[in-house]
Amino acid sequence: MTKFIVFEGIDGCGKGTQILNAIDLLKDHTTLFVTKEPSTLKTGKLIKRLLKEQDDPKTNAELFTNLYTKDRKEHNKIILKQLNQGHTVICDRYYYSTIAYQQAQGDNIKKILKQSKKFLVPDLTLVIDIPAETAMQRLKARGKKKEKFEKQKFLEELRETYLKMPYYEKILDKNSDRKENIIIIDGNRKPEKVFEQIKEELKKL
Ligand code: TYD
């Protein structure tokens, strides 16, 4: 059976490494479609450009919510098509990022949650949790040009929201047939240990 799996977490949480591990594990069992948000579609590209141009994380919240939502609408069609063709989809970030990032930017959480409910529900969402300080150190070590969201205090706020996902899960599922399956993974361990836990969750699917 095909599955839709999402990886989430603050910048520098180790998602990239764990996605590669998951691909390595799953590729022998199923055909995979690996994707990300912001997507590589038109709106996704525009978002990436804006993120590089702007420095203050607390600006343009509404604009960003609208752009990520527009991108997600287009991207959802591709994900659905892949699932219908029998492929398992792995997606790096999804509406949980909007819940965390655009809320931290100052946008209205009720509105964000309402919009999020309209999208395909993942079979499994893995939130990799690490302290903001560790994330910041990793991002510095990578030495990439800094993007809008990579400021420590902002990362701390994001982390708090990600840790509250079990609470948002209830709101998202309320009065509907949808069923979230959000698991918080302690990412502050050796990558192999982190993956052991992820593997267990993937096996349950
Ligand atoms: P990108 O470099 O594409 O991803 P990553 O850091 O995961 O490798 O940057 C995407 C940035 O966009 C990241 O800082 C998180 C942010 N973002 C949001 O603010 N809202 C969203 O809905 C999504 C999907 C991402």
Mutation to probe ligand 1, out of 97, 107, 109, 116 (largest number of atoms < 8 A from CB): 97
Is 75 a pocket residue for ligand 1 (Cβ < 6 Å)?
no
pLDDT at 55 over 90: no
Nearest atom (ligand 1) to Cα of 92? 7
Report the nearest-CA residue for atom 23 of ligand 1.
97
Is 97 a pocket residue for ligand 1 (Cβ < 6 Å)?
yes
Is 72 a pocket residue for ligand 1 (Cβ < 6 Å)?
no
Is 68 a pocket residue for ligand 1 (Cβ < 6 Å)?
yes
pLDDT at 89 over 80: yes
**Which tops the pLDDT comparison, 149 or 15?**
15
Average pLDDT, the chain: 95
- The rounded distance, in Å, linking the Cα atoms of 87 and 91 is 12
Q: What is the pLDDT at residue 154?
A: 93
Dihedral-angle region of residue 166 (phi above 0 means left; psi in -120 to 50 means alpha; beta otherwise): alpha
Kindly state the tokens that stand for 76.
Answer: 């959802």
Nearest atom (ligand 1) to Cα of 93? 24
* Ligand 1 mean position, distance from CA 185 (Å): 19
Is 11 a pocket residue for ligand 1 (Cβ < 6 Å)?
yes
* Ligand 1 mean position, distance from CA 8 (Å): 10
Q: pLDDT over 90 for what percent of the chain?
A: 88
Q: List, as own/partner pairs, every contact residues 195-201 make where C-beta atoms lie below 8 angstroms and the sequence separation is at least 24, other chains included.
A: 195/18, 195/21, 195/22, 198/18, 198/21, 198/22, 198/126, 199/25, 201/124, 201/126
Region 197-202: mean pLDDT is 98
User: Residue 150's pLDDT band (boundaries 50, 70, 90)?
Assistant: confident
Instruction: Return the axis-axis angle of helices 165-173 and 152-163, rounded to nearest 10°.
Output: 50
Region 108-115: mean pLDDT is 97
Of the listed ranges 6-20, 139-153, 167-181, the least confidently predicted one is 139-153
Report the nearest-CA residue for atom 2 of ligand 1.
48
Reported pTM? 0.96
- Alpha-carbon torsion (189, 192, 197, 198), positive or negative: positive
Region 61-72: mean pLDDT is 97
